[in-house]
């Protein structure tokens, strides 16, 4: 057998991550590395080109160390542009994951080719709900000049795709947290945030710069219920400061306007961010990693999709909304569509929304109980499709095929 440990499962893995979107790329790779180590007893090296961004997610990371170990994962610093230190001469792992087409070092690819039993090389693609993804998932890509094949592995929301990252105990931990008031109280105290008022709405806000933000803040300030908005450090703080007439806001600041209170939180490590999503009534999220975690939270959420050229992201947003709203009542679906489209308006060519953001918010909040139930049901619907299990099953399948071909060659 080519790469296995007697159980038809790889035991070593190299994950390569070039940080592009500050936290999304490394967020996904770090979760994947930990899950392979802790749930599948694999030996994982995580190669990262930006340790400073990594450190924000996991404060134990040292940005100055070329090699370090955290939570059972070996962390290696590498320069994805190949302009500084040469890539070390190492033996490739049995499973090689190239995250988001980051391009492996040439010498590492040469080392793969030189192996008697070739590692299985997987390109972990970006998440999309578009229909074409299912047709490309797991497709091989033979190298035009080298005797090696790379496989495309697409995360997704249907059984025809690779699924989503989901730790084995995440849903159980979420349910325990959301059912235990003392655990929630301890969480708020650790953030130095008062306990919720009986009629208060708590919102977490993690987004890109957004021209709709001042209008949304104005709507919340005029709401007939208290609105507490929790904004992590480094997230649209200049816009927050401008709304409140301040030159600068920093972690620890509390700002008040009408019924809106904004609290600026220190940047939250990855392990605590899940708890913030679990504890809030509504979560505004951005990119890929926080969007997936918001879905596991089982709470209503609003997605600020990462902008791409030629408005490709708008198609991705619509494709996801179509999937997410399947089975949802038409009026609630329309309310969700209106708010999400209004929140992403700056990425839609500046075109005017079909309804005002005020109307969109009012309609959305009118359906919040139904949207809450739907978010919980959606989380349950997705939970049977684990990316890591699907990935390892795929690797085992490819390895069995390779083993058979090797035996045929020997005959």
Catalytic residues: 25, 288
The CA distance from 353 to 404, in Å, is 57
190 forms beta bridges with none
Strand-pair category, 260-265 with 282-286:
unpaired
Report the DSSP beta bridge partners of residue 48. 17, 77
The DSSP string of 82-135 is: --SSPPP--PPPSEEEEETT----HHHHHHHHH-SSPPEEEEEPPP---THHHH
**Would you state the structure tokens that stand for residue 200, as one six-digit string?**
């208060």
Instruction: Dig out the tokens for 152 from the structure.
Output: 């495309």
Q: What is Dmax (Cα atoms) for the chain?
A: 80
CA distances from 216 to 100, 209, 227, 345 (A): 33, 13, 11, 13
Q: How far is CA 345 from CA 121, 173, 348, in A?
A: 39, 35, 5
- 304 forms beta bridges with 286
Closest CA to 41 of 75, 7, 90: 7
* Cβ-proximal residues to 29 (8 Å cutoff; 6+ apart), any chain: 15, 17, 46, 48, 99
Question: Distance between CA atoms of 236 and 233, rounded to whole angstroms?
Answer: 8
């Amino acid at each position: 057998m080519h790469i296995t440990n007697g159980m038809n499962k790889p035991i070593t893995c190299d994950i390569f991550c070039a940080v592009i979107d500050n936290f999304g790329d490394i967020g996904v790779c770090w979760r994947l590395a930990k899950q392979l180590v802790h749930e599948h007893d694999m030996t994982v090296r995580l190669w990262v080109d930006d340790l400073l961004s990594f450190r924000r997610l996991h404060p134990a990371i040292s940005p100055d160390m070329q090699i370090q170990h955290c939570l059972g994962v070996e962390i290696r610093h590498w320069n994805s542009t190949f302009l500084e230190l040469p890539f070390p001469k190492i033996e490739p792992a049995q499973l090689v994951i190239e995250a988001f087409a980051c391009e492996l070092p040439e010498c590492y690819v040469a080392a793969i080719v030189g192996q008697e039993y070739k590692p299985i090389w997987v390109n972990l693609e970006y998440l999309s709900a578009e229909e074409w993804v299912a047709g490309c998932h797991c497709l091989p890509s033979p190298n035009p000049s080298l005797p090696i094949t790379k496989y495309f592995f697409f995360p997704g929301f249907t059984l025809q795709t690779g699924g989503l990252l989901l730790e084995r105990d995440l849903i159980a931990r979420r349910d325990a947290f959301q059912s235990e008031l003392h655990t929630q109280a301890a969480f708020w105290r650790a953030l130095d945030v008062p306990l919720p008022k009986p009629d208060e709405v708590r919102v977490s806000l993690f987004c890109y710069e957004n021209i709709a933000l001042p209008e949304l803040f104005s709507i919340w300030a005029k709401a007939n219920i208290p609105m507490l908005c929790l904004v992590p450090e480094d997230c649209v703080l200049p816009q927050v400061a401008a709304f409140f007439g301040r030159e600068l806001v920093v972690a620890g600041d509390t700002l008040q306007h009408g019924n809106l209170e904004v609290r600026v939180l220190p940047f939250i490590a990855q392990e605590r961010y899940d708890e913030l999503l679990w504890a809030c009534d509504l979560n505004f999220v951005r990119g890929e990693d926080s969007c997936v975690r918001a879905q596991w939270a089982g709470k209503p959420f609003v997605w600020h999709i990462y902008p791409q050229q030629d408005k490709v992201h708008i198609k991705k947003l619509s494709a996801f909304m179509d999937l997410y709203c399947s089975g949802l009542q038409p009026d609630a679906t329309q309310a969700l569509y209106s708010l999400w489209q209004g929140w992403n308006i700056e990425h839609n060519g500046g075109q005017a929304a079909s309804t005002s953001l005020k109307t969109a918010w009012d309609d959305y909040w009118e359906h919040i109980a139904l949207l809450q139930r739907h978010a919980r049901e959606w989380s349950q619907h997705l939970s049977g499709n684990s990316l890591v299990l699907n990935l390892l099953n795929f690797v085992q399948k490819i390895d069995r095929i390779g083993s058979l071909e090797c035996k045929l060659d020997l005959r």
